[in-house]
Amino acid sequence: MTPSLKPTHLSFTVVFFTVASPQDWILGSRQMIQSSRTILFLFLLAIVLDKHAIQVSARSLHDNSPDCDCYVTSGRSPAFFEYHRFYDFRDIAGDSVYDHEPANVTNSQSNGDEPGQQGYLNSSTFAKDWKIQTWGHEREGPDYPVTVQNSPQNVFIQRDLLESSTSHLTLRAYRAEDFTSTAELEGLQRNVLHASVRFRARVRGATGVVAGMFTYLNDSQESDIEILTRDPPNHIRYTNQPSVGSDGYDVPGASTELDLPAPIVWSEWVTHRLDWRPQMSSWYADGQWLLDKEYGVPYLPSYLVLNLWSNGGDWSGNMSLGSAAYLDIQWIDMVFNKSGPADGYKLEGIDKFRRNVNFVAKRESHCHRVCAVDDIPAAGFPVLVSQAASTMRKTEWMSMYALGLGLALASTF
C-alpha cells in the first residue's frame, strides 16, 4: 500500500522552494492577502489538505511507523506506548502455506525435532521476532501425568477453508499414546516492560487443552489470558501469577474466571486484549473491558508467549488418545515500552536489573506525533491523531502549500 498522495506533496515542495524561502513567503504573503474571500478560501484549502495528510499517514503506518512517535490506547485503561509491532498472518502467500493441516505427530516422534513449515515461518523475517519451541517436560506424578513435547510440526500457516485468499497461524496439540504433542511460540523482544497486546484468535477442538496468550519472565512475573477447552466456549480465565502459593493453595484474587459478554465465544474469532500498565493489568474482549487486576502485576521486562498444551492433569484436563485441538491466530498487535537490553532481564539476580535500569532504552524524542491503535479503520495500522505544537512542521508545511496554492489561484480571480 503505497500512499498515492505523497509524491504530490513532494512536487508541491519543489515548486514552493523554487519560488522563495518560507520566511520570504510569509512576509510577502502578508501584503498579498487582502480580501477576506481569499482568507476563507485558504482556510478551507488548509483543512482539506490537512485531512489528506492524516489519510496518507494512516495508510502508510505500519510496524515501527516513522510517522508515529508514540501510540495511545483507548478503553478504561488508556495509556501511551513508544513502540508498535503488528504480526499479520492473514495474507501469507506462497506454496508453503498449507491447504490442509500437516500430519499429526506420531508416537515415535517424541523428540520434538520434526521439521517445521518452510516459507514464512522459516524466513528470517519471522525468525527475527519469534522462536518456535522444541522443549519438552517429562510426566511427573499425579499432577503432571502426561509428558508434554513441543513440536515445530504443530505450528503452521494454513489457508482458510472458506476464504482461500486469507490465511492464519495455527498452533496444534495432539494426544499421542505416550505424550501430548504441543506447540509454543516465544517472542524474541525480551525487554517488554508494559504493553497493550491484542490477539485475534480462535480456539477449537478436543477438550483437555489450555490455550495461553501471555507475557512471561518467570512463574511470578506472568500475566495470562487462558482458554481451557474443558470450559464452556464463553468462559475465560485471566490471571497474574503466582496463582498458587507456596502452601499449594490458590492465591485469592490471582486468577479470575469470567463469562465473555454474549455473543462472544472463544470458539469464534475474538480480539483478546491484555493491558499491562504499572500496578494494573486489564483485560478486554472485542473492545469490551472485562477486568482490572492489581494483584501480581509483573514489574520486570518480559516477553510474549503463545502456547497450546495439556499435561493430562486435573487443571488442563486430559485429551483422549488421538484427539487434537487448535489455537488459530489471525494477527497480533502490540504497543509497548521497553526497558533494559533487547535480550531481556537476566534472572540471575536483582542487582543486574538495578544496573540495567540505567540503560533503559529511552528515545531522545518525546511523544509528539500520537497515533491511535483502537477504533481505527484497520487493526494494526495506527492512525495519526495529534501532533504536538513543537513538531507541527508537517502541518505547517501543509498550510504553506495551501497558502501558495491559494495565492496562485487568487491571482487568477
The residues that touch ligand NAG, with contacts defined as CB under 6 A, are 79-82, 101, 103-104, 115, 122, 124, 127, 174, 194, 218-221, 277-278, 300, 312, 318, 320-324, 337, 347, 350
- Complex with ligand NAG: residue 82 or 224, whichever CB lies closer: 82
Measured between alpha carbons, how far is residue 162 from residues 99, 158, 159, 165, 166 in Å? 11, 12, 9, 9, 9
- Complex with ligand NAG: residue 364 or 411, whichever CB lies closer: 364
- Complex with ligand NAG: residue 53 or 206, whichever CB lies closer: 206
In the complex, least distance from residue 222 CB atom to ligand NAG, rounded to whole angstroms? 9
In single-letter form, the type of residue at position 224 comes to: D
- Complex with ligand NAG: residue 176 or 402, whichever CB lies closer: 176
In the complex, least distance from residue 74 CB atom to ligand NAG, rounded to whole angstroms? 14
In the complex, least distance from residue 402 CB atom to ligand NAG, rounded to whole angstroms? 33
In the complex, least distance from residue 127 CB atom to ligand NAG, rounded to whole angstroms? 4
In the complex, least distance from residue 75 CB atom to ligand NAG, rounded to whole angstroms? 13
- Complex with ligand NAG: residue 41 or 130, whichever CB lies closer: 130
In the complex, least distance from residue 312 CB atom to ligand NAG, rounded to whole angstroms? 5
In the complex, least distance from residue 37 CB atom to ligand NAG, rounded to whole angstroms? 45
In the complex, least distance from residue 228 CB atom to ligand NAG, rounded to whole angstroms? 16
Tell me the torsion sign for CA atoms 224, 227, 228, 230: positive
- Complex with ligand NAG: residue 42 or 274, whichever CB lies closer: 274
- Complex with ligand NAG: residue 172 or 200, whichever CB lies closer: 172
- Complex with ligand NAG: residue 57 or 356, whichever CB lies closer: 356
